[in-house]
């Protein structure tokens, strides 16, 4: 059978359109909103993914997805990706699935298609036995879509439950998150927050004031200090986003890929096994306190202890 000759000139417009869409998808909600994100000391959703994953390992899924809603003016506003970047890549050569919500697109709010993208990578993660990392920066459900948006959260919560105990689930709260945007992270295995720029609350300070007439700041209601010292919701409180992502990588190196995998074994090098410093930590007087962190550092490998709730340690010091 004769081979058909491909007319490259006829296909060029399609290649040009594909390139245009690729470039448009990189801008999220636009350069102005990206500048506003940077002005707050925050990275964009795509910058976070690139910093988290190994170089050139990210494969994006649903890059050109857009919402389907036509109500309340949404038919006039469309953004490629619909406010969330999803895909897979590697961290230290190990497979991981990731989603990163884009606050520059409708405040990172969750729509029907936004939820479908997240659900897809969660299902792929369970199927392939790989961890899921969610970088959350969302105001919650997209109000314009009503019940359809809320139904998207139900689908995500169901996958959170099904993935629990099967693959590790790590959440990083990278901005002001409310409603469903914090219900899902609270159901995952490990939660990271960034001091001063990330918040977790069911509803914001303005609603609290309207309902209870109580004045409360976002930090008091759901900041990193509140959730690390009072509620205990978050496990890691980080000084900035770069530190947060680096600590996610460090934690990732300690955990297995899934429930079937044995924890990673590292090569052993003998050292000072007697550790005489341990003999001097506990005082002879039983009423005298001592620092438990000195005991931990004397037992574990050098530079290997990953401290939870660092903000609390800073206050105690």
CATH number at residue 63: 3.90.226.10
**Does residue 69 form part of some domain?**
yes
DSSP state of 71: S
Distance between CA atoms of residues 211 and 213, nearest Å: 6
Q: What pLDDT is attached to residue 114?
A: 94
Q: What pLDDT is attached to residue 317?
A: 42
Secondary structure class of 105 (helix, strand, coil): coil
Q: Identify whether residues 181 and 295 lie together within a single domain.
A: no
CA angle 131, 134, 135 (to 5 degrees): 140
Low-confidence ranges of the chain (pLDDT < 70): 1-7, 268, 270-274, 307-317
Backbone φ and ψ for 228, nearest 5 degrees, come out as: -95, -30
Q: What pLDDT is attached to residue 271?
A: 66
Q: What pLDDT is attached to residue 273?
A: 66
Q: What pLDDT is attached to residue 232?
A: 81
- Domain range holding 290? 278-304
**Does residue 313 form part of some domain?**
no
Element (H, E) at 157: helix 147-163
Q: Identify whether residues 297 and 179 lie together within a single domain.
A: no
Question: Cβ–Cβ contacts within 10 Å for residue 124, how many?
Answer: 16
The token duo for 217 is 């700041």
Distance between CA atoms of residues 130 and 95, nearest Å: 6
175 touches 140 (CB < 8 A): no
Q: Identify whether residues 208 and 294 lie together within a single domain.
A: no
Distance between CA atoms of residues 171 and 190, nearest Å: 6
Residues 6+ apart with CB under 8 A from 170: 131, 132, 133, 134, 188, 189, 190, 192, 248, 251, 252
Q: Identify whether residues 289 and 225 lie together within a single domain.
A: no
From 76, 86, 149, select the one nearest 121 (Cα to Cα): 86
**Does residue 264 form part of some domain?**
no
Distance between CA atoms of residues 39 and 12, nearest Å: 39
Strand partners of residue 87: 60, 98
Q: Identify whether residues 200 and 118 lie together within a single domain.
A: yes
Q: Identify whether residues 106 and 173 lie together within a single domain.
A: yes
**Does residue 185 form part of some domain?**
yes
- Sign, CA torsion 200/203/208/210: positive
Secondary structure class of 298 (helix, strand, coil): helix
CA atoms within 13 A on the CB side of 98: 29
Q: Identify whether residues 46 and 164 lie together within a single domain.
A: yes
Q: Identify whether residues 201 and 129 lie together within a single domain.
A: yes
**Does residue 311 form part of some domain?**
no
From 88, 89, 148, 90, select the one nearest 114 (Cα to Cα): 148
Kindly give the interhelix angle for 241-252 and 45-52, rounded to the nearest 10 degrees: 40
**Does residue 44 form part of some domain?**
yes
Q: Identify whether residues 227 and 283 lie together within a single domain.
A: no
**Does residue 193 form part of some domain?**
yes
* Total domain count, the chain: 2
From 74, 69, 83, select the one nearest 29 (Cα to Cα): 83
Q: Identify whether residues 72 and 188 lie together within a single domain.
A: yes
Domain boundary among 217, 237, 252: 252
Q: What is the pLDDT of residues 147-197, one digit of tens each?
A: 888 999 999 999 999 999 999 999 999 988 888 888 999 999 999 999 888
Q: Identify whether residues 99 and 232 lie together within a single domain.
A: yes
Q: Identify whether residues 182 and 73 lie together within a single domain.
A: yes
> What global pTM score does this model have?
0.85
**Does residue 66 form part of some domain?**
yes
């Amino acid at each position: 059978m004769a081979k058909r000759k491909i007319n490259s000139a006829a296909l060029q417009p399609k290649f040009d359109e594909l390139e245009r869409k690729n470039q448009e998808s990189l801008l999220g909600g636009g350069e102005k909103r990206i500048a506003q994100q940077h002005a707050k000391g925050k990275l964009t959703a795509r910058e976070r993914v690139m910093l988290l994953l190994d170089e050139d390992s990210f494969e994006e899924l649903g890059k050109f997805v857009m919402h389907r809603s036509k109500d309340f003016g949404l038919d006039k506003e469309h953004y490629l990706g619909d406010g969330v970047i999803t895909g897979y890549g590697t961290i230290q050569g190990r497979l991981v699935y990731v989603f990163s919500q884009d606050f520059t697109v409708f405040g990172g709010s969750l729509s029907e298609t936004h939820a479908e993208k997240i659900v897809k990578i969660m299902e792929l993660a369970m199927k392939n036995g790989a961890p899921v990392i969610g970088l959350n920066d969302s105001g919650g459900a997209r109000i314009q879509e009503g019940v359809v948006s809320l139904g998207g959260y139900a689908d995500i919560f169901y996958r959170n439950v099904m993935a629990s105990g099967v693959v590790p689930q790590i959440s990083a709260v990278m901005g002001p998150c409310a409603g469903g945007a914090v219900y899902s992270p609270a159901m995952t295995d490990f939660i990271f927050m960034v001091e001063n720029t990330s918040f977790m609350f069911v509803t914001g300070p303005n609603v609290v004031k309207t309902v209870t007439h109580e004045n409360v700041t976002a930090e008091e209601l759901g900041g990193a200090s509140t959730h690390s010292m009072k509620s205990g919701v978050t496990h890691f409180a980080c000084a900035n986003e770069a530190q947060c992502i680096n600590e996610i990588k460090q934690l990732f190196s300690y955990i297995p890929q899934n429930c079937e995998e044995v924890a990673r074994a590292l090569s052993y090098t003998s050292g000072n096994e007697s550790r005489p410093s341990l003999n001097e930590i506990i005082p002879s007087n039983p009423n005298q306190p001592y620092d438990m962190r000195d005991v931990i550092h004397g037992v574990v490998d050098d530079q290997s202890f990953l401290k939870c709730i660092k903000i609390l340690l800073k206050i105690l010091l």
